């Protein structure tokens, strides 16, 4: 589509048009982007600079990044220490293949991560790759190999939960149940997985049930499912300790994960916790599972690990799994060209060291409580706000047509999208979600500011979100 002979500039629309026209339609511009965007019909916004909690767009707009992309930018943007550490590593060793070599930042990052894992059933090894999907892919394979090493080759099934997301590669998607993302591919995905109910009190706890009774009911359902498949055929149970984008910051009822842990133990099934979104401090503790008082056999982290400076994720293995590999073939039968990439590791290590040095975990927990209080004070009585929930700096609001029945809005109303758009127009980026309830119905917005967010920024965030909510509410009445 190029009209000039030189290396193409991005479409002019990025720099010349105001934002609402820019996204309106791509087809009106003669130059089409060569990048396969998420939508072929709409252009995303061009970001030309990002500093601290703010994004600066090509059209001059300044946006408070209140979701860090997808809960990625834990330190905010443009941190000079992270940049310096990244450049320094590039100058020392930019790449080596892990078949023959290792590097200092990879070793140090792995050590850092296993040190964060606590003592009970120690996480002893880290496998470093480039995305949450890849980390979960590796975890599915490591779990299977664990049983093959032990001679339990009949273990072929995974059990996961509805309303959860574990990635978009074929394996990770197989154990996911984010319906919209999965729909076109269901016929070509493996079928050795089954799904149990989400632990999602606002939607699925009965009115006459206590939190503990609800948790017990879910555990009983999980046991029934294990027995239905026969437990000796199951590899692992996979769950997000706090469900992220699929239904919006949903923590489990008290006692649920204790029950899950015990049940997995009873049947020798591995417990794989996906903390790609909720881990690395986001919920106020380094791992979200710490707040459940349990230890997984496998945990995956991603989004916040590199803070967005580099693509990086990790699978952490408990000693039980590692020992079985060591006593068996003594090799994880998996590998990728860019695993433990030195530059990615150096950047992530710099991010994690800053979090530790500047006590940002505590800060995240404290700011999170503040944010939670502000959201409750501002939105609790709003007509269409059904639930406000979260931990740490990881909060969501679920919207309903009628709080007394909790009936969601019809899909075509796109209530969450209305708020998202209005907030963006007012200069605040939040992360919207649909299909909150069951993969089809429901709306929420998710908030995940950097751990470095200031009080003024939190106030700006909440007051702008309220203005945006009012616009969305008025748009329904109008
Ligand atoms: C985002 C996410 C993934 C997938 O990570 P990618 O980096 O997008 O591949 C997996 N699990 C959870 C819980 C996530 O939020």
pLDDT per residue as tens digits for the range 325-374:
999 999 999 999 999 999 999 999 999 999 999 999 999 999 999 999 99
pTM of the model: 0.94
**Burial class (CB within 10 angstroms; exposed 0-12, middle 13-18, buried 19+) of 164:** buried
| Contact by Cβ (8 Å): 257, 292 | yes
Q: Does the domain formed by 82-357 have CATH 3.30.1440.10? A: no
Find which of 11-25, 166-180, 297-311 is predicted with most confidence, using mean pLDDT: 297-311
Q: Which of 166, 177, 246 to mutate to test the pocket of ligand 1 (most atoms within 8 A of CB)?
A: 166
pLDDT in tens, 180-220: 888 899 999 999 999 999 999 999 999 999 999 999 999 99
* Cα 168 to ligand 1 centre (Å): 8
Confidence bin at 25 (pLDDT 50/70/90): very low
Q: Which candidate, 305, 285, 263, 361, places its Cα nearest to that of 113? A: 305
Q: Check pocket membership of 244 for ligand 1, CB cut-off 6 A.
A: yes
Q: Does the pLDDT value for residue 7 go beyond 80? A: no
CATH 3.90.1150.10 domain extents, the chain: 19-78+360-477
Torsion-angle region of 7 (φ positive above 0: left; ψ -120 to 50: alpha; else: beta)? beta
User: What is the average pLDDT score of the chain?
Assistant: 93
Q: What is the DSSP letter of 2?
A: -
Query: Distance between the two ends of the chain, CA-based, in angstroms?
Result: 42
Atom of ligand 1 nearest to the CA of 302: 7
pLDDT in tens, 130-184: 999 999 999 999 999 999 999 999 999 999 999 999 999 999 999 999 788 888 9
* The architecture CATH gives domain 19-78+360-477: Alpha-Beta Complex (3.90)
Strand-pairing partners, residue 98, are none
Q: Does the pLDDT value for residue 436 go beyond 70? A: yes
Q: Check pocket membership of 105 for ligand 1, CB cut-off 6 A.
A: no
* Cα 313 to ligand 1 centre (Å): 9
Average the pLDDT over 216-236 and give the result. 98
| Contact by Cβ (8 Å): 143, 178 | no
Q: Which of 68, 70, 163, 276 to mutate to test the pocket of ligand 1 (most atoms within 8 A of CB)?
A: 276
Strand-pairing partners, residue 236, are 158, 270
* Cα 245 to ligand 1 centre (Å): 9
Atom of ligand 1 nearest to the CA of 243: 13
Q: Does the pLDDT value for residue 411 go beyond 90? A: yes
Residue 32, pLDDT score: 82
* Cα 166 to ligand 1 centre (Å): 5
Q: Which of 133, 315, 336 to mutate to test the pocket of ligand 1 (most atoms within 8 A of CB)?
A: 133
C-alpha to C-alpha distance for 442 and 387, rounded to whole angstroms: 12
* Cα 302 to ligand 1 centre (Å): 7
Strands 428-429 and 62-65: parallel
pLDDT in tens, 258-292: 999 999 999 999 999 999 999 999 999 999 999 99
Atom of ligand 1 nearest to the CA of 168: 9
Q: Check pocket membership of 136 for ligand 1, CB cut-off 6 A.
A: yes
Residue 183, pLDDT score: 87
Q: How many residues does the chain have?
A: 478
Q: Check pocket membership of 166 for ligand 1, CB cut-off 6 A.
A: yes
Q: Check pocket membership of 249 for ligand 1, CB cut-off 6 A.
A: no
Residue 23, pLDDT score: 47
**CA dist list (Å): 154 to 193, 230, 233, 312, 340:** 14, 11, 6, 33, 32
CATH 3.40.640.10 domain extents, the chain: 82-357
Q: Check pocket membership of 164 for ligand 1, CB cut-off 6 A.
A: no
Residue nearest to atom 8 of ligand 1 (CA): 132
Q: Check pocket membership of 391 for ligand 1, CB cut-off 6 A.
A: no
| Contact by Cβ (8 Å): 436, 444 | yes
Q: Which of 174, 303, 307, 312 to mutate to test the pocket of ligand 1 (most atoms within 8 A of CB)?
A: 303
* Cα 303 to ligand 1 centre (Å): 7
């Amino acid at each position: 589509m190029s009209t000039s002979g030189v290396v193409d500039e991005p479409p002019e629309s990025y720099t010349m048009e105001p934002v609402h026209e820019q996204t309106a339609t791509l087809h009106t511009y003669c130059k089409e982007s060569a990048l396969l965007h998420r939508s072929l019909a709409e252009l995303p916004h061009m970001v030309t600079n990002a500093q601290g909690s703010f994004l600066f767009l090509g059209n001059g707009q300044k946006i408070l990044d209140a979701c860090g992309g997808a809960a990625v930018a834990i330190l905010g943007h443009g941190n000079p220490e992270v940049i310096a550490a990244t450049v320094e590593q590039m100058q020392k060793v930019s790449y080596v293949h892990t078949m023959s070599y290792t590097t200092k930042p990879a070793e140090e990052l792995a050590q850092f991560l296993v040190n964060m894992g606590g003592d009970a059933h120690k996480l002893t090894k880290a496998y470093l790759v480039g995305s949450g999907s890849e980390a979960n892919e590796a975890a599915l394979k490591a779990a299977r190999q664990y049983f093959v090493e032990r001679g339990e080759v009949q273990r072929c099934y995974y059990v996961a939960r509805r309303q959860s997301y574990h990635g978009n590669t074929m394996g990770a998607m197989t154990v996911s149940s984010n319906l919209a993302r999965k729909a076109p591919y269901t016929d070509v995905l493996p079928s050795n997985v089954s799904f149990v109910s989400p632990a999602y009190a606002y939607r699925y706890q009965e009115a006459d049930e206590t939190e503990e009774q609800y948790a017990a009911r879910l555990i009983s359902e999980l046991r029934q499912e294990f027995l239905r498949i026969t437990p000796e055929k199951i590899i692992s149970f996979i769950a997000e300790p706090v469900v992220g984008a699929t239904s919006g910051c949903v923590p489990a009822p008290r006692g649920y994960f204790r029950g899950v842990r015990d049940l997995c133990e009873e049947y020798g099934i591995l417990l794989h916790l996906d903390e790609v979104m909720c881990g690395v401090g986001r919920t106020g503790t380094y791992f979200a599972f710490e707040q459940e008082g349990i230890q997984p056999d496998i945990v995956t982290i991603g989004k916040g690990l590199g803070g967005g400076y580099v693509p990086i994720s990790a699978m952490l293995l408990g000693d039980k799994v590692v020992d079985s590999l060591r006593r068996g073939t003594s090799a994880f039968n998996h590998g990728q060209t860019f695993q433990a990439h030195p530059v990615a590791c150096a950047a992530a290590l710099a991010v994690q060291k800053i979090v530790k040095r500047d006590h940002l975990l505590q800060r995240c927990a404290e700011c999170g409580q503040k944010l939670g209080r502000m959201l409750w004070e501002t939105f609790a009585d709003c007509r269409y706000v059904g639930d406000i929930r979260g931990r740490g700096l990881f909060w969501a609001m679920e919207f309903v047509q009628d709080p007394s029945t909790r009936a969601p809005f019809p899909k075509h109303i796109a209530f969450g999208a209305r708020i998202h758009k209005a907030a963006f127009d007012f200069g605040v980026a939040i992360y919207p979600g649909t299909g909150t309830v069951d993969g089809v119905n429901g709306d929420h917005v998710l908030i995940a500011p950097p751990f470095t967010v200031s009080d003024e920024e939190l106030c700006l965030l909440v007051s702008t979100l309220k203005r945006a909510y009012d616009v969305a509410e008025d748009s329904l009445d109008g």
